[in-house]
Chains A and B, each alone.
Chain A
Amino acid sequence: MKKQTLFLLSILGLFISNSISYSAQTPITKLSATNGEIKSIVANGGQLSANIDVNDGKLSNALTPGFLIVTNSNSQKSLQLTATCNTQDGPVNAFFFPLFSLEYHYIALTNSNVLPPSHCVDCVKKFNGALNSDNNPNVIAYRMTNLEDIPNVMDVRYDNNFNRWDITLLKRGATALNVEIPGGELPLTNTYSTCDEGGNYQATITLSFI
């Protein structure tokens, strides 16, 4: 009886001592992981291709490149929306806002198969518009849908000096931004004619945090 009791007590003691020893050998450890600020932009689909009507230059459908902005920061963030089109002299700014236009901004698309010289893009961007269609072969310009402020989400402003959109993001999380070049509208006057050779007319639109 005594031996059984002693045995049980020793087992109990061993258990307690093990318990005590666990508590004594493993101090409380505080785990921490630092979550950095996230600023991410990804291309987010949209309609990226269209056909041009050979008769009048209209786009068969709207072009709507999309972006998804992700941030976990509560503070305002600044972004820029820029565009370039390729020329014989390298990429040039594709956005422009001619003075004759009261409201709308435009984007120039250039023929990637037959690159125009950069001065042809300049002809399209003149303050009073292209004067005639002969001086801008392989460049076609289209109206864009203006970016608009979205309350509590983003403020937008067109920078006339640099011909780009400055965006202030007001909220965290994921925010979708779509750019639109409407379909079914005539190109900017005197930017489309049969001087424009067949080919793929392109511009590259970039959204970036700054």
Chain B
Amino acid sequence: MRKIFLLIFIIFISIMESNAAIKISPSTIEINANTTKKDYISTAFNVSGGINETIRFKIYPVFFKYDEKGRFIELRDNGQSDSLMGKIKFYPTEFTCQKGQPQKVRLTITGLKTLQNGESRLMLFLEDVNTKEVLLSKLNGNIGGKILVKTRVGVPVYVDKGNFTKKAQLVSLNAREDNGFLNCSYKITSNGTSKVRYNGWGYITDNDNNLIKKFKVISSNLPGGQGAYLEKEQKIDLKDCILNKNQNYNLKFVLTYKDEQDKEKVLKKETSFTSNMNINQNKI
């Protein structure tokens, strides 16, 4: 080795100190273009940084989608019919927030008449211009090193226009008990043109229809568009239940969502599972 290298990584952050904070409210922008006859529509959201910080933000748009697992996918803008890229103006594009004071960001969607019927979207990202440089020191004067920590928050912007529809189906539900946990998996599909936000409850019952456990199904947004679907999994702790080994039990999902008329729709699916072990039998 020609040189003795000494790389130093030091992060000086106390456990209570917060830095490079970005806070946005509301966290999602949903616009109904049918509420105006104009060719544009405007709205706003608030941005703030940490209470003890001065942060400079920059804003930039990105086209995106969420995949079947609900993961964010950045997409290249190719003028897709459901993209709002090129149709959004926002102000300011860069600004400074001091001591947690909020800044209002105003945005205008233009060219409403050219939007497709159904849903269009993009993500507005807010990013700290100055990354938080972690304080480092050099030892023996040789080499210093840096780790920079950065945060950014995106605001999804959705615009519904024309005869948009919100339709969902709960097509499958499976359950498997594994070591005191119930692994639930389900598939929910959409054939509407606008995203659907669903939530609901799961019910575990025995063969006599006695309720063993009720739990909240984790809510998600199901993208709009033909063929859109989500495949979700949820693990339920059965340690507060009494189950018998090799006995059959039932799982029922009752999900609800609001359609384009703001009317509540209900999705139901039922399945069964066998307990592979005695759970809490000493409680009998």
Contact = CB atoms under 8 A, between A and B. Distances in A.
- Sorted from nearest, which 7 A-B pairs have the closest CB atoms? A54-B25, A198-B26, A55-B48, A55-B100, A55-B23, A114-B199, A198-B27
> Looking at chain B, what size class is its interface with the partner chain?
under 10
Most chain B CB inside 10 Å of its own CB: which residue of A54, A114, A198: A54
Nearest to B27: A198
Contacts of A54: 25
B130 to A, nearest CB: 23
7 contacts: A54-B25, A55-B23, A55-B48, A55-B100, A114-B199, A198-B26, A198-B27
Interface in B25-39: 25-27
Interface string B89-113: 0000000000010000000000000
A198 B219 CA distance: 14
Contacts of B48: 55
Interface in A53-89: 54-55
Interface in B1-56: 23, 25-27, 48
Interface in B199-225: 199
A158 to B, nearest CB: 36
Nearest to A197: B219
B114 to A, nearest CB: 31
A32 to B, nearest CB: 55
Contacts of B23: 55
Interface string A23-58: 000000000000000000000000000000011000
Contacts of A114: 199
A198 B26 CA distance: 9
A114 to B, nearest CB: 8
Contacts of B100: 55
Contacts of A55: 23, 48, 100
Contacts of A198: 26-27
Contacts of B26: 198
A54 B100 CA distance: 13
A54 B48 CA distance: 11
A55 B25 CA distance: 9
Interface in A175-208: 198
A26 to B, nearest CB: 66
B216 to A, nearest CB: 10
A209 to B, nearest CB: 36
Interface in A104-125: 114
A125 B274 CA distance: 41
Which of A55, A114, A198 is packed against the most chain B CB atoms within 10 Å?
A: A55
A54 B26 CA distance: 9
A137 to B, nearest CB: 11
B55 to A, nearest CB: 15
Contacts of B25: 54
Nearest to B199: A114
B176 to A, nearest CB: 28
A78 B187 CA distance: 58
Interface string B187-200: 00000000000010
A4 B25 CA distance: 104
A47 B27 CA distance: 27
A55 B51 CA distance: 11
A114 B100 CA distance: 29
A114 B23 CA distance: 23
A120 B23 CA distance: 27
B53 to A, nearest CB: 14
B171 to A, nearest CB: 26
Nearest to B100: A55
A198 B23 CA distance: 15
A30 to B, nearest CB: 61
A114 B216 CA distance: 11
A1 B26 CA distance: 107
A54 B47 CA distance: 11
A114 B48 CA distance: 26
